[in-house]
A and B are shown apart, each in its own frame.
Chain A
Amino acid sequence: MLDILELGAVEARAALDSGEISAVELASAYVAAAEETAGLNNYVALTADHALEMAAASDARIAKGEAGLLEGVPIGVKDLFCTAGYISTACSNILTGFIPTYESTVTANLWREGGVMLGKLNCDEFAMGSANETSAYGPAINPWQAADGADLVPGGSSGGSASAVAARSALLATGTDTGGSIRQPAAFCGVVGLKPTYGRCSRWGIVAFASSLDQAGPFSRNVADNALMMQAMAGFDPKDSTSADVPLQDLSAAVTLGVKGMKIGIPSEYVLDGMDPEVVKIWQQGQDWLRAAGAELVDISLPHTKYALPAYYIIAPAEASSNLARYDGVRYGKRVESESLDEMYALTRAEGFGEEVQRRIMIGTYVLSAGYYDAYYLKAQRVRRLIRNDFDTAFETVDAILTPATPSAAFPIGRKVDDPVTNFLNDVFTVPANLAGLPGMAVPAGMNGDGLPLGLQLLARPYDEATLYAAGQVLEDAAGFTANPIRRAGGVQ
């Protein structure tokens, strides 16, 4: 019997067009799956009725031969995207009850192409975190389980998105990536995640974290599905002043191009002291796969790599402290009443923002304050240019770069960390692409000895997502990663 939840998006589109399945049937199956796996806490709002209405409209369009690229495909939306008429909170108490009157450009593009909205997905508060543990809705859970049965984090910040796609409670999902928030959870959950070139996807209507780094991107269970979704969600948008008016490549065609003659760089600086030997092994395996498919591997150097994380942890909080100044209890969201305006602001923000968000606002405010701006913020921006220069130099000789996606597999929820800096290290391989504005893709490549997924990361030149899809498909074919996590609810198998 056909397991409708195992169809990829490209396969589902074909089955919908041939009449083998209907969009209502597909949406109903996903709604039921989301309800069954509610214990994973990856949805913060399931919009079942809306999904079924959209699916019925899709069936009507398919019958008339007017199907869009994603017609009838059920999609989960990270709660960072504003969705008109549906709660959008960035998983923060300060936006409790916020219902936008407008739709983000990216989600509007998805619905225009016939996508069906399933609901809003859990994430770290304001996308600040790498484990989905800072969410006001509590942590989302990875559908993959530790060998001892412990619940694992799905990664973050787009943890709900990665968890739902892996658990078959969403066929596709949107995410955002400021320092690795698509690629790291994709790797932790064994799915494909793309961070597009900065400027490819409009930021309009997405709750801002660090505006010079934020990019929206797609989650999927395979590379071809990812290309299909990216084709629909990307595009120039005059409403975002940093949106790039650069024609999008034919990404679905790119998937079949292969890597013959492609030059792929292996950066020596991505070998870390004490790195997990299983991560080293999978990285080596990825190099062998690409070489076997006809690529030439080239040793490269990205000498400023070790400075990417500290530069990021100045730039991102600085931009965040500025962006989050808008949450003042006056125009929308939570308000804590007080006799004085200043006290109303301070109490509202103390109660509305969680600890991690407060910490980052404090760092950002400090590094932007009088007397420190040059020493911290401008210094970090100068280092940012050197990091970009490293990549520009590398891309004079190579077409793509292969690295591990994360320094480890998923770790247990509630892992005690004394020092905030230790948590930041999750993003060591992903942050440089954000600072440089490059496109990056995480592809599942295998499993570690505990049966948990490990991912590889590909990076390419700005606006060259096609190369990522070509090389990503080669990795996917070679890895033959077909393992499924145990679908389960509430931590019970």
Chain B
Amino acid sequence: MPVDKTTVAKIARLARIYISDERQQVLATELNGILSWVDELNEVNTDNVEPLASVTGHSLPMREDVVTDGDRIDEVLANVPETTSGFFVVPKVVE
């Protein structure tokens, strides 16, 4: 079993999701089920096979590095949970 409760706690910390103590055990079982199923992939010989990250067949387009949009503070802040003086507000991070 690759994933134990401690691993779940570590992943939850990386993913920034609070997961209660009881649910950590449930998730460990579920993740192990999924991971042992995807282990099927190890049956496939992928030596010398390049990973496929994009199916488009074209490379990403380039454009001039110039400003094409902006000056929309009101729109950017239209859905903000908390704002002051045109800024996003977060809990204090530096004492």
Binding site for B on A (CB under 8 A): 97-102, 198-199, 212, 238, 241-242, 244-245, 304, 306-307, 310-311, 313-314, 321, 325, 328-335, 338-347, 349-350, 353, 358-359, 361-363, 365-366, 369, 376, 378-386, 388, 419-421, 435-437, 462
A347 (CB) vs chain B CBs: closest residue = B18
**Given that A341-B90, A385-B52 are known contacts, is A331 also in contact with B79, CB under 8 Å in the complex?**
yes
- Some 9 contacts from A to B, beta carbons below 8 A apart, are A313-B38, A330-B81, A338-B91, A343-B18, A349-B18, A365-B15, A386-B44, A388-B52, A436-B55
Taken together as a complex, chains A and B put the C-alpha atoms of A453 and B52 apart, in Å, by: 36
Contacts A346-B16, A358-B19, A362-B27 given; 11 further ones with Cβ under 8 A? A346-B18, A349-B17, A350-B18, A361-B15, A362-B17, A363-B31, A365-B14, A366-B35, A379-B42, A382-B49, A436-B55
Within the complex, what minimum Cβ distance (angstroms) separates B53 from chain A? Answer: 6
List of A residues within 8 angstroms of B19 by Cβ: 350, 358
A437 touching B56, Cβ below 8 Å:
yes
Within the complex, what minimum Cβ distance (angstroms) separates A20 from chain B? Answer: 42
The residue that A329 contacts in the complex, of B41, B57, B75, B81, with Cβ under 8 A, is B81
A-B pairs under 8 A by CB, number:
158
Taken together as a complex, chains A and B put the C-alpha atoms of A334 and B38 apart, in Å, by: 33
B86 interface residue, CB < 8 Å from A? no
**Given that A241-B61, A379-B42, A385-B50 are known contacts, is A362 also in contact with B8, CB under 8 Å in the complex?**
yes
List of A residues within 8 angstroms of B65 by Cβ: none
A359 touching B27, Cβ below 8 Å:
yes
The residue that B41 contacts in the complex, of A102, A350, A380, A388, with Cβ under 8 A, is A380
**Given that A99-B78, A313-B38, A362-B11 are known contacts, is A381 also in contact with B27, CB under 8 Å in the complex?**
no
**Is chain A's interface secondary structure helix, strand, loop, or mixed overall?**
helix
B40 interface residue, CB < 8 Å from A? yes
List of A residues within 8 angstroms of B60 by Cβ: 241-242
List of B residues within 8 angstroms of A363 by Cβ: 31, 34-35
Within the complex, what minimum Cβ distance (angstroms) separates B42 from chain A? Answer: 7
List of A residues within 8 angstroms of B7 by Cβ: 366
List of B residues within 8 angstroms of A353 by Cβ: 17
B22 interface residue, CB < 8 Å from A? no
The residue that B37 contacts in the complex, of A101, A102, A310, with Cβ under 8 A, is A310
B55 touching A340, Cβ below 8 Å:
no
List of B residues within 8 angstroms of A379 by Cβ: 41-42, 46
Taken together as a complex, chains A and B put the C-alpha atoms of A359 and B11 apart, in Å, by: 11
Q: Using C-beta atoms within 8 Å of the partner chain, give the interface range for chain B.
A: 35 or more
Taken together as a complex, chains A and B put the C-alpha atoms of A104 and B14 apart, in Å, by: 31
Q: In the A-B complex, list the 7 residue pairs whose CB atoms are closest, starting with the nearest.
A: A437-B55, A381-B51, A332-B79, A385-B52, A382-B46, A335-B81, A350-B18
**Given that A313-B34, A329-B81, A383-B41 are known contacts, is A361 also in contact with B17, CB under 8 Å in the complex?**
yes
List which B33-81 residues lie within 8 A (CB) of chain A: 33-35, 37-44, 46, 49-58, 60-61, 63, 72, 75-76, 78-81
List of B residues within 8 angstroms of A362 by Cβ: 8, 11-12, 15, 17, 27, 31
List of A residues within 8 angstroms of B93 by Cβ: 341
List of A residues within 8 angstroms of B21 by Cβ: none
Within the complex, what minimum Cβ distance (angstroms) separates B43 from chain A? Answer: 8
List of B residues within 8 angstroms of A435 by Cβ: 55
A330 touching B34, Cβ below 8 Å:
no
Taken together as a complex, chains A and B put the C-alpha atoms of A260 and B41 apart, in Å, by: 39
Within the complex, what minimum Cβ distance (angstroms) separates A1 from chain B? Answer: 46
A333 touching B16, Cβ below 8 Å:
no
B37 touching A330, Cβ below 8 Å:
no
Within the complex, what minimum Cβ distance (angstroms) separates A379 from chain B? Answer: 5
List of B residues within 8 angstroms of A325 by Cβ: 16
B50 touching A382, Cβ below 8 Å:
yes
List of A residues within 8 angstroms of B18 by Cβ: 343, 346-347, 349-350
B61 (CB) vs chain A CBs: closest residue = A241
Within the complex, what minimum Cβ distance (angstroms) separates A90 from chain B? Answer: 14
B89 (CB) vs chain A CBs: closest residue = A330
Taken together as a complex, chains A and B put the C-alpha atoms of A420 and B26 apart, in Å, by: 12
Within the complex, what minimum Cβ distance (angstroms) separates B25 from chain A? Answer: 13
Taken together as a complex, chains A and B put the C-alpha atoms of A244 and B56 apart, in Å, by: 7
A345 touching B52, Cβ below 8 Å:
no
List of B residues within 8 angstroms of A198 by Cβ: 55-56
List of A residues within 8 angstroms of B35 by Cβ: 363, 366
List of B residues within 8 angstroms of A306 by Cβ: 40
The residue that A376 contacts in the complex, of B15, B33, B38, B53, with Cβ under 8 A, is B38
**Given that A349-B18, A382-B52 are known contacts, is A244 also in contact with B58, CB under 8 Å in the complex?**
yes
Within the complex, what minimum Cβ distance (angstroms) separates A361 from chain B? Answer: 5
B74 (CB) vs chain A CBs: closest residue = A101
The residue that A383 contacts in the complex, of B27, B46, B79, B80, with Cβ under 8 A, is B46
Within the complex, what minimum Cβ distance (angstroms) separates A418 from chain B? Answer: 9
List of A residues within 8 angstroms of B37 by Cβ: 310, 313, 421
Taken together as a complex, chains A and B put the C-alpha atoms of A362 and B92 apart, in Å, by: 27
Taken together as a complex, chains A and B put the C-alpha atoms of A311 and B43 apart, in Å, by: 12
